[in-house]
Copies of this chain bind each other. A is one copy, B any other.
């Protein structure tokens, strides 16, 4: 058994790298959104032409990024959704909603302070982790039966 794991959510810290690094040697294929913030925001207009209105500038970009998200979500066995401590992060919760409706296994990675605000999201998840290392430990256990320590 190998696992496809989609790393959704926050793109401002190195949590993805920590998980990918920690999971070396495991049979996991990781995917994730474009993490270059500027590219992610501007991909639509850069490729398909400029827009006067920011609303449609954003729309074009969101739709192009959606091609990648759709593929990654569809292929994923496990979706990890990271909520950080800044910004609205509605996109993370939106991805979590899609993952839940598609019946994917889901791990939420978030600080304790968000517990109440994320209670519905957490309730749809298989685990609420506090650190990238815990996510790695779950993946290792699922794949190899090995617990940490």
Interface residues of A (CB under 8 A from B): 1, 3, 31, 34-36, 39, 42-44, 46-49, 51-56, 58-72, 74-75, 77-78, 83, 87-103, 105, 107, 114-130, 134, 137-138, 141-142, 145, 147-149
Contact = CB atoms under 8 A, between A and B. Distances in A.
Contact of A54 (B3, B31, B92, B115): B115
A59 B55 CA distance: 13
Which applies to chain A's interface (DSSP): helix, strand, loop or mixed? helix
A77 B88 CA distance: 28
Nearest to A91: B120
B98 A58 contact: no
A11 to B, nearest CB: 12
B127 A48 contact: yes
Contact of A68 (B52, B142, B148): B142
